[in-house]
Amino acid sequence: MKFNQARWTRETPEEGGEVYEPLLVEKSSRAVETDDAPLPDDLTRDGIELPDPAEPELARHYTRLSQMNYGVENGPFPLGSCTMKYNPSFTEDVAALPEAATHPDRSTDSVQGNLELRHKLADSLARIGGMDAVTLQPPAGAAGEFTGILIAKAYHEQNGNDRNEIVVPESAHGTNFASAALAGYEVVSLPSADDGRVDVDALRAAVSDDTAALMLTNPNTLGLFERDIEEIADIVHDAGGLLYYDGANLNALLGRARPGDMGFDVMHYNVHKTFATPHGGGGPGAGPVGVVEELAPYLPTPQVSEIDSDEPDDEEAASDDASYERFEPEHSIGKVHGFAGNWLVLVKTYAYIARLGDPGLRDTSAKAVLNANYLASQIDYDIPFEPFHHEFVASADRDAADVAKRMLDYGVHPPTTKWPEIVDEALMTEPTESESRAALDHLARAFDRAAADDDVTLETAPERTAARRIDQASAARNPRLSWHALDDE
């Protein structure tokens, strides 16, 4: 396969040079005054200047931009820890149903449909995670982490425990550290053992009466399952701490093991990863949080519950007439989103889970793990840690960032580079279940061809993408963050 990304360029008449697709404002811009406003002058601004394209122009602009962008429907996107799988189209249609578009302040009686979907989704997620209660409010995974840590904090405070530390393995996602710090905790970084897993002795030494929680993902970012998880849970629980599960890698475990059964007390789900609700160029996502029964009273408000039927004997009637109400949990931490989270993402999640059902969920993890292992078996790279599940970290013999740039030329998105730092020149690779064998073979060739290319080719790659190698260091030294900043040049 020969890959060439669309590259839209246009001459700049002033300088005789060329630019990629011009900015909208460079095509058509218009300044308007606001002096005819139905308001006193001192309450209004003087005017404003914005792009003013006709719709056909607008359509071409964004179509060209889309062609200069790479998504999962363009090809493999094996970003380790990000779980970029195929996003089925039909979920977009259900989220676009006009009935879904309600205002968040609608009365409980008038949005029974929304509340039913929320309740059923929360219930499914609870069962998938082995949790007792779930909030759908956090609008992203990191927001879920923050929510979970606030829950841990409120729980400890309610129980008269003043704990000020959160333990996080050094291989964890950066968001774990940042979320713990945002909630006011000291972060205790936990080194990995030689086998890439949690060093249980180091953990024992790290936890104390000050430990509020341990944050962990399982499998970890090397794709390794923490086999000592029960012992880890005991160590944390014996010290009076809680065990937090980072759901970033849940795709590897769907239907195989549940965080709740492993001893985790609180977890977040990255529905935009595990349940194929599109990332949309970096969001929106949603980060529902599940908790064990003891922590349910601390969940954000409102929660949704099913109202007990008046006629408990008549099961048929009860399920037909099920109605739902909002409530504030007894020791609620309050809110982490102004309203009730990223609703449309949640509708897509519900649809996706319904499409898969039990067998699909279980097959997801089977094929995700098979694909990672198969891809690893087809490439000529050192993979220092195994046996891995859904992702592996390959070590490039040369600069991983250069290898990644060259892989772009072969029509694939490269893996996550340079992280985790446990592996030299790391390429953290997660193909997901939605890649076919042929796509994986193509990906494997991209790995091996990039590794075999000469230094100059690698250092100047990519050449077939919309733009050539971008100097990110100089962009950071001289930040120009809006088209207004370009005027100064």
Subset of 44-83 contacting another protein (CB under 8 A):
44-46, 48-53, 55, 58-59, 61-74, 77, 79, 82
> CA 204 → CA 160, 190, 193, distances in Å?
23, 10, 13
The alpha carbon of residue 95 and the mean position of all alpha carbons in its chain are separated, in whole angstroms, by: 19
CA angle, residues 383, 386, 390, in degrees to nearest 5: 95
Report the candidate in 389, 388, 390, 374 with the shortest Cα–Cα distance to residue 438: 374
Please report how the helices 174-182 and 141-158 are oriented relative to each other, as an axis angle in degrees rounded to 10: 40
* Cis, peptide link before residue 51, omega less than 30° from 0: no
Parallel, antiparallel or unpaired: strands 392-395 and 426-429:
antiparallel
Q: Is residue 240 close enough to count as binding another protein by CB under 8 A?
A: no
Q: Is residue 92 close enough to count as binding another protein by CB under 8 A?
A: yes
Q: How many CB atoms lie within 10 A of CB 72?
A: 18
> What's the min distance (Å) between Cβ of 35 and another protein?
11
Over the window 454 to 473, marking each residue x when it contacts another protein by CB under 8 A and - when it does not, the resulting string is ------x-x--xxxxxxxx-
> What's the min distance (Å) between Cβ of 395 and another protein?
19
Residue numbers 356-395 binding another protein by CB under 8 A: 356-361, 363-367, 369-371, 373-374, 377-378, 387, 389
Q: DSSP letters along 336-360, please?
A: SSSSS--HHHHHHHHHHHHHHHHHH
- Cβ proximity to another protein: between 239 and 419 the closer is 419
Candidate residues 134, 183, 291, 403; the one interacting with another protein per rule CB under 8 A: 183
Candidate residues 204, 256, 331, 398; the one interacting with another protein per rule CB under 8 A: 256
> What's the min distance (Å) between Cβ of 312 and another protein?
20
- Cβ proximity to another protein: between 257 and 318 the closer is 257
Q: Is residue 191 close enough to count as binding another protein by CB under 8 A?
A: no
Phi and psi dihedrals of 396, rounded to 5? -85, 145
> What's the min distance (Å) between Cβ of 130 and another protein?
8
> CA 360 → CA 165, 210, 243, 365, 473, distances in Å?
39, 42, 28, 9, 44
Residue numbers 125-164 binding another protein by CB under 8 A: 127-128, 130, 139-143, 145-146, 150, 153
Q: Is residue 264 close enough to count as binding another protein by CB under 8 A?
A: no
Over the window 322 to 351, marking each residue x when it contacts another protein by CB under 8 A and - when it does not, the resulting string is -----------xxxxxxxxxxxxx-x--xx
Q: Is residue 202 close enough to count as binding another protein by CB under 8 A?
A: no
At 1 the three-state DSSP class reads coil
